[in-house]
Amino acid sequence: MQLFTLAALATFSLVKCLPVIDVTGLINAQPSVSAGGKSTCVSGTVKIPVTATNLQILKPAPRTNLEATELYVELAQVNSKLGASLVGGPQTVTGTHGIYVKLCFPSDEAAQRKISTVQLLTHGGTLDHTYWDIAPGYSYVDAATLAGYATLSYDRLGTGLSDHPDPLQTVQLPLQIELAHQIVQKLRTGSISGRQFRVSKVVGVGHSLGGALTQAVAAKYPKDFDALIIQGTSTVTQFALTGVASEALQIANTDPSGRFKGLADGYHISGPLPQTSQFAFYRYPGFDPRTSTISTTLSVPQPSTPSNLPSQLARTLLTHPSRPVFSLQTSRKQTLALGESYTLPLAYAPAPAYTGPVAIINGENDFFYCGGDCTYPVDQAAAAIPAFFPNADQARSMSYLVPGTGHNVNAHLNAGKAFERMIAFLEGALGGP
């Protein structure tokens, strides 16, 4: 068993108080504390061999930002047939991919020994794993560990500190499903930090694109999850392309920050102005850039720069200056692979084989999935449960609309209300951790 001891950590002032940590299954493992400050964590890379049936992407990625903008214009135009022309028949893809993960759990060792449930946290598009652990008061990771759960957040393939393979033919929804499924199996078999605690239940928790991915995993592998929590979803689709257009997506390697130099042209990112995130993902004044200024230096000892990413990107993710939460989140914007975008509609099919409990948590003013009013004409979070999960355990399921909140729930002032409902749901659905 691989372990970090207190003596080995003594030179790292930010992590001196950490208990012994099992790093089994992690490459370049690094101990830390959560950004919220209340959880013990260990991060590293997991190598996952996987085979999936992807779809052939028939057109190359735009070569300039003018071409990229025209792509989104034509996808959004009335009577567009472009989407159908982009995707062809099935093709098998096989490979081994490095996925960056961060496992967090209660700092109290007695509480650790009682853990039997891990929550697998999957972030949405243009975000990374830090969506679940933004800052003190904005950390679902801390809410979960304080309630006695462990969490495993990760960067989806093509995002953050995970590998960035071919963004058209490789990074697609079917492959992401298989990767998430393999992570679940590793958690259940103890292949990731398996001696830290014994896992008997796994909860799938996803936001936006990550929620759609979690739904798709439950559809194909209904026994993977004992419960589901999905943020930012509905059966309403007519506002999504407007939301995409508002992001002013551009080729990531042209971003003025220089963070994504060297990535293929098929990786896109939202425009440099903060309003490109605000329109679709935030609801003013439900977020306030003038409050909650925090230190955002991640507690990760260096050197830990992954070899498969541009060094500028790795350094940016490891250290940030102090800034308000909204500014912090917009500075952390991440890549979106075109292949994943083109195949995402596959995720929104019902999951009739899944029979466990479901919670759907939406911002009341989510523009992306509700046009800015999730109460019209009915509660869209409540309506999504029978539509997407017709055989879910309805008696143990629930929905909640977070007041004054947009699509990126965890970055709003009322994030704590969402966290309370998510934990309360698990207490009722599973009887606790």
**Higher-confidence position of 275 and 390:** 390
Q: What is the DSSP letter of 398?
A: E
- The predicted-structure confidence for 155-200, as pLDDT tens digits, reads as follows 999 999 999 999 999 999 999 999 999 999 999 999 998 777 789 9
User: Can you tell me whether residue 213 is helix, strand or coil?
Assistant: helix
For residue 302, name the pLDDT band (cuts at 50, 70, 90): very low
User: Can you tell me whether residue 306 is helix, strand or coil?
Assistant: coil
Which candidate, 272, 251, 254, places its Cα nearest to that of 333? 272
For residue 323, name the pLDDT band (cuts at 50, 70, 90): low
- The predicted-structure confidence for 84-93, as pLDDT tens digits, reads as follows 999 999 999 9
pLDDT at 381 exceeding the cut of 80? yes
- The predicted-structure confidence for 351-380, as pLDDT tens digits, reads as follows 999 999 999 999 999 999 999 999 999 999
At 113 the pLDDT is 87
Among 177-191, 271-285, 310-324, the range scoring the smallest mean pLDDT is 310-324
In DSSP notation, 130-175 reads GGGB-STTSBHHHHHHHTT-EEEEEPPTTSTTS----TTTTSSHHH
Residue 361: CB partners within 8 Å, gap ≥ 6?
A: 229, 230, 231, 381, 399, 400, 402, 409, 418, 421, 422
At 290 the pLDDT is 59
Mean pLDDT of the chain: 88
